[in-house]
Amino acid sequence: MKLNLKQRMRLAVIPALLTSQVALSQSAVTLPEVVVRGESVVSGNLGLEETSGTGSRLGLKIRETPASVEIIPGEVVRQRGDVTTQAAVTRATGVASAATPGNGSTALSARGFAGHSSVMQLYDGTRLYVGAGTVTFPVDTWPMERIDVLRGPASVLYGEGAIGAAINYVPKKPNRTRFEHEALVSAGNWKSYRAAIGSTGPLGPAAAYRLDIAGTTSDGYVERSDSNRLAFSASVLFDVMRDLAVTLALDGAHQNAPRYWGTPRINGVIDPGIQRTNFNVLDSVISYQDYWTRLKAEWRVSQSVVVRNEFYYLTTDRHWRNLENYTFQQGTGLIRRTGYLEIFHDQKQLGNRLDATFDGTLFGRRNRFLAGFDVNRIDFKHTNNGPFGGQSDVNPFTFDPGLFVNLAGTTPRFQTRTRQVSVFAEDALDVTDRFKLVAGVRNESVDFHRKELAAATAFDKKLGALVGRVGGVYAVTPGLSVYGQYGTGVDPLGSLITTSAAQAAFDLTTGRQAEVGLKQSLLGGRAEWTLAAYRIVKKKLLSRDPANPTVSQQIGQQSSRGVEASLGLQPARGWNVDANIALIDAKFDDFNEQVGAVLVSRAGNLPPNVPQKVANLWVTRNFAGDWEAGAGVRYVDKRYADNTNTITVPGYAIADAFLSYRLRRDSTLTLRARNFFDRLYAVAPYNTGTQFILGDPRTFEVALTAKF
């Protein structure tokens, strides 16, 4: 039985209210407030003294972690006006967008690897397994306390699918001690409106709540690309006993996304005359509904032992009905539209993660050790109208969009069941007062079953992986650390829970990384910088056998190496500077494709959707007491849309700016300009580069925020 949003929220609130009454009636001593420093980091500071559970579960500071870890504070995200998680995270070092409607408009690239099978996205440390290359949650930045980015293989912490990076979106938490409320309203071009509220505070001496809701609607720049979404995050925290805290959380989003699949290239370029044209059909649909219900517990068994458990039930329902592919016909001057696709995803994930941390000594030195396990069951059902037939040729400048054509009929096609079990451990030993050794290991086992509903056939597949990492950090001075790390990871060939029969004979791909770097804080914390160099090699790619081009084998390899640098600086009172740059040298080392009857090597080519340079700069200044101004530039180098490197997606540099005035102590009026110089640019290619997903032109927005 399917429940609507109101019914689900009522079901979630009932046990929370009952538990709240029990907690309020208890006479036990309440859990003392724990002050977590650094969860709100101002711009102009990289937060090297902060802890990040994304880079390590041992409570290590970023300066103590032998890896590239970055924090983007939520207050900085909202100051810059980044409304979507995609816009916010691509401010991080070396992270670029690879978003299309086909992947949920959330795919990213990092360190030479692109897509959801290599760049993992988590919500508060939990992942929804990728189904058919798609992830659709989270999407809105309003509920976010911070965004943590761990670059390089993260399989030791989170399992398969994170050779490039792991992105963790961390929502705001309940406040035990005081009430805090905030609200936002904004308006911009193309009838774009946004409203959001947030509230937190105590529910008596032994409980607290948090509620955040954000609604957004827009007609969109491209015709017939109207969209709306509602994102929400609600949680109630209970101090069940002095040392036991339990949190019940319900998070989710309803999205009717822009029904825009890109603009076709005419003679290799985007014609400005069709920049606003939508080649999709009139009755198109892109709709997502995501719900995340989680029950978290933290038990401080003693001063040195902490046990954490999270039980979660995640669901997502997706619906696409679109005409997706547009190709310019040189002979006729028309656009050929193909791919009348209707697809439904019905995905449910039930899981539990438990870990225990022991803070003690080993050989007389401080040692922190963690061990735990993670179990999941994921059920996925795929409904579509394959083989997606039908086509129409239209004049790109004058045409009737028409209606959706369904030749085959939309019916359930396959369903899968995936069971995942993993055990993991992590350790940090203070070998000396200056040198820290950090290591981790994870063993993962996957039991997969797929049933073809139309053909009544099925197959089973078992996968396993043992991955690890080891690294060291040496404090040259109290503010300067040098580190090195070696780690391994695994990625699926596609999306693990939708493995096809053609992929069933193969294993997970494997990767390894070596990384060295520097991290320093100076000028009393007013300046922080990091520098990292790495090399990643990924093996077991599917490639054609040179001896028999009709046979695919796991003999392919790709690699990347690069240098990343970031800087946070407060050069003078009221000034903040954030800057980062990534230089990436990525390539196929051993990869063959069959073109007709000929075997063609792609060795030396750049993998699709991977830029070789990514950079960001933000400068803000407070002045005249109540005024604040800021400007930022995002640069993404050219990419290729195909393995042959014949279709180039041009690079771009986009400038944003804002000007804010504090009306009262707790209210601010802000004027924003995005893409200030009105650049025409492509976010990502689609349909192997026959069309480009274009970014918005220059937009203006006025916003009013208030805290009370």
Kindly report the three-state secondary structure assignment for every residue of 258-273. CCCCCEECECCECCHH
Beta strands in 45-143 (DSSP E): 68-73, 96-97, 108-110, 113-114, 119-123
Q: Is 476 exposed, middle or buried (0-12, 13-18, 19+ CB in 10 A)?
A: exposed
Q: What is the pLDDT of residue 454?
A: 87
Give 202: exposed, middle or buried? Use CB within 10 Å, 0-12, 13-18, 19+.
Answer: middle
- CA–CA distance, 257 with 284 (Å, rounded to integer): 11
Both tokens of 309, joined, read 């458990």
**Residue whose pair of structure tokens reads 């102009």 in the numeric block:** 44
CATH of the domain at 612: 2.40.170.20
The answer, yes or no, to whether residue 120 has pLDDT greater than 70, is yes
- Is residue 580 in some structural domain? no
Confirm if 372 and 353 have CB atoms less than 8 A apart: yes
Q: What is the pLDDT of residues 257-296, one digit of tens each?
A: 999 999 999 999 999 999 999 999 999 999 999 999 999 9
pLDDT at residue number 23: 35
Tokens of 410: 């939309």
Tens of pLDDT, residues 4-42: 444 443 334 333 333 333 333 333 333 333 333 333 334
Name the phi and psi angles at 496, rounded to 5. -55, -45
Contact indicator for 502, 139 with CB cutoff of 8 Å: no
The helix/strand/coil state of 67 is: coil
Give pLDDT, residue 508: 94
> Closest by alpha carbon to 542, among 489, 502, 482?
502
Q: Is residue 581 part of a domain?
A: no
The whole domain housing 677 covers 5-543+551-569+591-707
Regarding beta strands 411-430 and 435-452, do their DSSP bridges make them parallel or antiparallel, or are they unpaired?
antiparallel
Supply the mean pLDDT for the chain: 92
Q: How far apart are CA 293 and CA 247, in angstroms?
A: 11
The answer as to whether 574 is a domain residue is no
Q: What percent of the chain has pLDDT over 70?
A: 94
Closest by Cα among 530, 433, 531 to 474: 433
Give per-residue pLDDT as tens, 142-162. 999 999 999 999 999 999 999
Does residue 138 have a cis peptide bond before it, meaning omega lies within 30 degrees of 0? yes
Provide the 10 A C-beta neighbour count for residue 275: 13
| Tokens coding 13 | 């609130």
pLDDT at 3 over 60: no
Specify the pLDDT at position 20: 36
Instruction: Identify the pLDDT of residue 158.
Output: 95
User: Is-contact 150 660, C-beta < 8 A?
Assistant: no
Query: Per the structure, how many domains does the chain have?
Result: 1
CA dihedral of 624, 627, 628, 631, whole degrees rounded to 10: -90
Contact 397, 382 (CB under 8 A): no
Q: What pLDDT sits at residue 24?
A: 30
C-alpha 343/C-alpha 389 separation (Å) is: 14
Q: In which region does residue 273 sit, left (phi positive, over 0), alpha (psi from -120 to 50) or beta (all else)?
A: alpha
Closest CA to 345 of 134, 593, 200, 115: 134
Tell me how many degrees the CA angle 110-111-112 measures, rounded to the nearest 5. Answer: 95
Question: How far lies 702's CA from each of 81, 188, 669, 670, 673, in Å?
Answer: 10, 6, 7, 6, 9
Joined together, the tokens standing for residue 327 give 């190709």
| pLDDT at residue 43 in the model | 55
User: Cα-Cα-Cα-Cα dihedral of 405, 411, 413, 417, to 10°?
Assistant: 130
Query: Do 98 and 684 contact (CB within 8 A), yes or no?
Result: yes
Q: Could you read off the pLDDT of 127-144 as tens digits, one per residue? A: 999 999 999 999 999 999
Mean pLDDT of 554-573: 95
Q: How far apart are CA 533 and CA 516, in angstroms?
A: 6
CA distances from 416 to 349, 369, 409 (A): 12, 36, 21
Q: What are the tens digits of pLDDT across the range 542-551?
A: 888 777 776 7
Under the banding of pLDDT at 50, 70 and 90, the label for residue 394 is: very high
The helix/strand/coil state of 573 is: coil
Extract the tokens encoding 265: 């290239």
Which residue is associated with the tokens 């969009």?
401
Q: Which amino acid is at 639?
A: R
Q: What's the pLDDT at 554? A: 86
Q: What is the pLDDT of residues 592-639, one digit of tens each?
A: 998 887 889 999 999 999 999 999 999 999 998 899 999 999 999 999
Arithmetic mean of pLDDT, 175-191: 97
Give pTM, 2 decimals.
0.92
Q: Which amino acid is residue 665, in one-letter code? A: R
Residue 128 in domain: yes
